Amino acid sequence: MSTASANRKLASPEVSRTPLHLFYVLLALSLGMLAGGGIWYIAITGIIGNKNWDFNLYGRGPALLAIVGGVLLVLTLAAYFLLPALKPWSSYTRRKLLRDRYRYMLIIPGLIVVFVFSYMPMYGIVLGFKNYKIKSGILFSQWVGLYNFERFFKSPVAGQVIWNTFYIGITQLLITFPVPILLALLMNELRSTAYRRTIQTIIYLPHFISWVIMYSLMFSLFSVTSGLVNKLLISLGSTPINLLSDPTRFYGMLYVTSIWKEAGWGTIIYMAAIAGVDQEMYEAAYLDGANRFQQCVHITLPSIAFSITTMLILNVGSIMGANFDQIMNLRSAATSSTVAQVIDTYVYDMGVGKGQYDLSTAIGLFQQIVNCIMLFLSNFIVKRMSGEGFF
């Protein structure tokens, strides 16, 4: 049966839509119970609930509501495919599922991975609202509401940590974001294909070097006592450079290493976008007398504007997520408590170093909320200015 004939059959007056409406009501009810139980458990009994947590007193109700909602959801979906009254609609859905079964088989493993590794761990967010005890576990630890957030914001280092994170995120965006675009535009102007591929390979390679090895190379070159560069300077009678432990040089080291390691890799998206530009536009511009620079400004850049705005929005959305691997490996004892202390490193110090998992979870949740706000705000601003946004 074709799609048109199936739609005509479903639209005929002989087919009563009451069972379908009942199915929609039960589906909405089950989803509401499932979501409502979770919201009730976390919000009402947690954030604004009694701090003297008792699962039997506070948690049993929302847990039972969520369980009943989940069972009702399974039964509703089973009824949709098994009950004869819903066969006019379920048979059409079944045919579509059967027709595209191989596509769904390809999608299912990815959905399972995302659910297991991205959604299930989100339950750990409740640690930010609890006084976590290892013996009690996540479920039975005492609720403390927003106490962990208050601890962070009232701590003397909170302002410095937030400022360092914002400063590094914003300055890295301003300094490093245009570099891959410029590299892609320059490589696009190279006439020799072999030479362009060689350059691409050379600038891509640093991306595959971990920050641990990167720091080892930096230490071998710029260590005050044993670095190759400083040994050379001392032999020439010059003063050695204290690059790794000088707080005034830390930000510059971050920017240079970021460009060296990631700029070449970032050109991949822009080179792919440039490869999709219609070559007839360049030919028409050449016939009109436009030089290579004018073609780049008036054809290439507007053609890759969507890729640029997409990457800009994603980068702005991660301003509060300074590169943890980079900072963690490049910081030293002289910089770890001042310019190199960002939210990610502070969460690591509190969680892994001191075992304050509840406080570190609260700080991480605050960081992700700010990142989410920055993502939507940047998308709104860019869309209003250029007419193109990520969503």
The residue among 60 and 196 whose pLDDT is bigger is 196
The residue among 24 and 41 whose pLDDT is bigger is 24
Return residue ranges of the chain for CATH 1.10.3720.10: 150-386
User: Is the pLDDT confidence value at 140 over 70?
Assistant: yes
CA distance 307 to 134: 46
pLDDT digit string, tens, across residues 357-381 = 899 999 999 998 888 888 888 888 8
DSSP symbols for 51-117: SS--IIIIIHHHHHHHHHHHHHHHHHHHHHHH-GGGHHHHHHHHHHHHHTHHHHHHHHHHHHHHIII
> What's the residue count for the chain?
391
User: Is the pLDDT confidence value at 309 over 70?
Assistant: yes
pLDDT digit string, tens, across residues 85-95 = 888 888 888 88
Give the pLDDT mean for 239-268. Answer: 88
Question: 212 φ, ψ to 5°?
Answer: -65, -45
CA distance 336 to 153: 20
Quote the pLDDT of residue 378.
Answer: 85
CA distance 167 to 172: 8
Quote the pLDDT of residue 113.
Answer: 93
Give the pLDDT mean for 145-159. Answer: 89
Output DSSP code: residue 217.
H
Q: What percent of the chain has pLDDT over 90?
A: 18
User: Residue 45's pLDDT band (boundaries 50, 70, 90)?
Assistant: low
Residue type, 61: G
User: Residue 15's pLDDT band (boundaries 50, 70, 90)?
Assistant: low
Model pTM?
0.76
CATH number attached to the domain at 150-386: 1.10.3720.10
Q: Which DSSP helix (H) or strand (E) runs through 244?
A: none
- Which tokens is 309 given? 């705005």
User: Is the pLDDT confidence value at 178 over 90?
Assistant: yes
User: Is the pLDDT confidence value at 11 over 60?
Assistant: no
User: Is the pLDDT confidence value at 180 over 90?
Assistant: yes
Quote the pLDDT of residue 389.
Answer: 65
- Residues 6 or more apart whose CB falls under 8 angstroms from that of 77 comprise 27
Quote the pLDDT of residue 52.
Answer: 60
202 three-state secondary structure: helix
- A 10 A CB-CB count for 196 gives 16
Give the pLDDT mean for 295-302. Answer: 89
| Cβ burial, residue 109 (10 Å; 0-12/13-18/19+) | exposed
142 three-state secondary structure: strand
Give the pLDDT mean for 184-205. Answer: 88
Enumerate helices (H) and strands (E) in the chain, giving the number of each: 20, 2
User: Residue 181's pLDDT band (boundaries 50, 70, 90)?
Assistant: very high
Quote the pLDDT of residue 63.
Answer: 84
Quote the pLDDT of residue 51.
Answer: 53
User: Is the pLDDT confidence value at 238 over 70?
Assistant: yes
CA distance 288 to 283: 9
Quote the pLDDT of residue 72.
Answer: 92
